A and B are shown apart, each in its own frame.
Chain A
Amino acid sequence: MALIEIKGVTHAYKTASGPLPVLNDLNISVPEGGFTAVVGPSGCGKSTLTRLIAGLMKPDTGTVMLHGKPVTGPRATVGMAFQNPVLLEWRTILQNVLLPLEIVQTKLTRAEQQDRARHLLSLVGLSGFEDKRPSELSGGMRQRASLCRALIHQPEVLILDEPFGALDAFTREDLWQTMHKVKEKEPFTGVLITHDLRESIFLADQVVVLSGRPATTQYVLDVQAEGPRDLDHLYTAKSADQLATLRHQIAVAQGRASEGDAA
């Protein structure tokens, strides 16, 4: 059974000029330990999707299930990271990473919590920055710290809403590799919202293409790769084919090409 099961989800926002449908009969299934990337034209409701999975919102119709149980509200088994690292500036990096443990029940002692935070920080390459303030770190480093905070309470599901979107290309590729390292050491089931097709096939094992608003599941790509891969993976013939397919699907979603056109 899939860990995350999104079935026939339809959702509309209430606006002054009537309901604005954003999701229409959306179906996504993510197996336990899987990593699914969601791509689609901007404004197609990708962020709405993350809020539904996190239990911050309820769909109008359809169900979002975790372990076969419908999601009714926020749960402590979710970790989130956004494009904006939203670190608390009055806290040190270590205190920022520890924040979720102040909310979530934990069996760890204070010392064990700190050890775990330090371990995560070293995993993403932030050893020695534990006592720095967020304002003393670069954008990439802040995003790494934000990732540690999302993982500190060992969530089952990690929701990443364009976490690398605001970084420069080199930093981004660096973080992609960090992600693989983290997933190997700290297993989670991931949902990644992104605009970057290369990122989607480099990190995920399944890529879901959403259509334009209201978004529905337009295409699902099996990346046919699991676990860590290096950057060369992006330059194989298979990856080139997959990228061409995804690009075509995005063009269809944007209404620039029709389904029948050659990719």
Chain B
Amino acid sequence: MNALTSRAFLAPIIAVLVFLCLWELLVWANNWPNYVMASPSDLPPAYAKYWELFIVMGWQTLWRTVVGLILAVIVGVLIGMVMGFSRIMRDALYPLLVGFNAIPKATVVPIVALLFVGQHDFNTVLIAFMISFFPIAVSVSIGLSTLEPEYRDILRALGASNMTIFRKIALPKTLPEFFGALKVAVTLAFIGTNLMEIVSPHGRGLGALFDSGKTNSDYPLMFAVLIALAFLGIVLYYIVVWLERTFAGWADRQV
């Protein structure tokens, strides 16, 4: 491991440790009881006590978030393609999309819960999808609509079909924007999943675990859930970063 990679690994770890120390210090200095704010030292006992729940619930949250995200990618890319290639569709769909995105998803949660009563997995995936497809659709449409005409002309002049131009030029050229949006979408999808998990009765996943911690006034458990969520978010985020390096690494001028 050379100096650069060890720096890339050590710097964030040290930052996290410093953050935990400051948090501990803050609680200790103010002499806050657990029901005001739990401290990092309360978390390991909470994890130790409920580790099985964390694994089961964490997995539920994770897979539903990922499925919602995959749906968001598929639908977002399709909408983005339609809007990117057609001026009329762009004009037609933009207000609709913006309006849809402006609705706080917390208000949609009870509607969805009533609409598909008992379909908890489906509802959760749906909310995760709804909250996260917007940035993907917008970035893909911008990426495609701002493609310089010369790029299209070099292939069109040779008689290439629109599909070929899309595959060879438009698609790869849009990848950096797509991954930028996917990084935003990852964290949004987690918010969507947890909204549903917390709000719906007899929910599953880390959101439900948080809710049960709240019901039982188990404050360290609530904070432990938050940290677990942050951890899952970071893991998914770095998976996206890895995908980005693999498929759009050429866009990074630093290497």
Residue of A nearest to B175 (CB): A90
Residue A100 at the chain B interface, CB threshold 8 Å = yes
Q: CA of A135 to CA of B252 in the docked complex: distance in angstroms?
A: 10
Q: Are A80 and B172 in contact (CB-based, < 8 A)?
A: no
B171 vs chain A, min Cβ distance (A): 10
Q: CA of A88 to CA of B248 in the docked complex: distance in angstroms?
A: 12
Residue A104 at the chain B interface, CB threshold 8 Å = yes
Residue A192 at the chain B interface, CB threshold 8 Å = no
Within 8 A of A (CB), among B103-125: none
Residue A66 at the chain B interface, CB threshold 8 Å = no
Chain A residues whose C-beta falls within 8 Å of the C-beta of B250 in the assembled complex? 89-90, 133, 135
Residue B157 at the chain A interface, CB threshold 8 Å = yes
The DSSP consensus for interface residues of chain A is loop
Chain B residues whose C-beta falls within 8 Å of the C-beta of A51 in the assembled complex? 153
Within 8 A of A (CB), among B141-155: 148, 150-151, 153-155
Residue A153 at the chain B interface, CB threshold 8 Å = yes
Q: CA of A104 to CA of B160 in the docked complex: distance in angstroms?
A: 8
B21 vs chain A, min Cβ distance (A): 42
Number of A-B contacts (CB under 8 A): 61
Chain A residues whose C-beta falls within 8 Å of the C-beta of B168 in the assembled complex? 88, 99, 102
Within 8 A of A (CB), among B207-251: 248, 250-251
Interface size on A, residues (CB 8 A): 26
From A71-79, A167-175, A182-190, the one touching the partner chain is A71-79
Partner of B158, one of A88, A90, A103, A159: A103
Q: Are B158 and A76 in contact (CB-based, < 8 A)?
A: yes
If A86-B150, A99-B168, A133-B250 touch, whether A78 touches B158 (CB-CB below 8 Å) is yes
Partner of A86, one of B148, B160, B172: B148
Residue A54 at the chain B interface, CB threshold 8 Å = yes
Residue B99 at the chain A interface, CB threshold 8 Å = no
Residue of A nearest to B161 (CB): A103
Q: Are B158 and A84 in contact (CB-based, < 8 A)?
A: no
Q: CA of A86 to CA of B168 in the docked complex: distance in angstroms?
A: 13
Q: Are A86 and B151 in contact (CB-based, < 8 A)?
A: yes
Interface size on B, residues (CB 8 A): 21
Chain A residues whose C-beta falls within 8 Å of the C-beta of B251 in the assembled complex? 89-90
Q: CA of A229 to CA of B200 in the docked complex: distance in angstroms?
A: 81
Residue A231 at the chain B interface, CB threshold 8 Å = no
Q: CA of A135 to CA of B249 in the docked complex: distance in angstroms?
A: 12
B18 vs chain A, min Cβ distance (A): 36
Q: Are B157 and A55 in contact (CB-based, < 8 A)?
A: yes
Chain B residues whose C-beta falls within 8 Å of the C-beta of A257 in the assembled complex? none
Chain A residues whose C-beta falls within 8 Å of the C-beta of B148 in the assembled complex? 84, 86
Q: Are A84 and B150 in contact (CB-based, < 8 A)?
A: yes
Q: Are B150 and A153 in contact (CB-based, < 8 A)?
A: no
Q: CA of A73 to CA of B158 in the docked complex: distance in angstroms?
A: 10
Chain B residues whose C-beta falls within 8 Å of the C-beta of A103 in the assembled complex? 155, 158-160, 164
Between B148, B157, B251, the greatest number of chain A beta carbons within 10 A of the residue's beta carbon is seen for: B157
If A88-B172, A90-B250 touch, whether A80 touches B153 (CB-CB below 8 Å) is yes
Residue B253 at the chain A interface, CB threshold 8 Å = yes
Chain A residues whose C-beta falls within 8 Å of the C-beta of B248 in the assembled complex? 90
Residue B183 at the chain A interface, CB threshold 8 Å = no
Q: CA of A35 to CA of B195 in the docked complex: distance in angstroms?
A: 68
What per-residue 1/0 map shows which CB atoms of A130-151 lie under 8 Å from chain B? 0001010000000000000100
Residue of B nearest to A153 (CB): B158
Can you show 25 pairs from A to B with CB atoms below 8 A apart?
A55-B157, A73-B159, A74-B157, A76-B158, A78-B158, A80-B153, A80-B157, A82-B150, A82-B154, A84-B150, A86-B150, A86-B154, A88-B168, A88-B169, A88-B172, A88-B173, A89-B251, A90-B173, A99-B155, A100-B154, A102-B168, A103-B158, A103-B160, A153-B158, A159-B157
Taking A89-B251, A103-B164, A159-B157 as known contacts, 15 extra A-B pairs with beta carbons closer than 8 A to each other, sorted by chain A number, are: A54-B153, A54-B157, A73-B159, A74-B157, A74-B159, A75-B159, A84-B148, A90-B173, A90-B175, A90-B251, A99-B155, A100-B158, A103-B155, A103-B158, A135-B250
B residues sitting closer than 8 Å to A (CB atoms) are: 148, 150-151, 153-160, 164, 168-169, 172-173, 175, 248, 250-251, 253
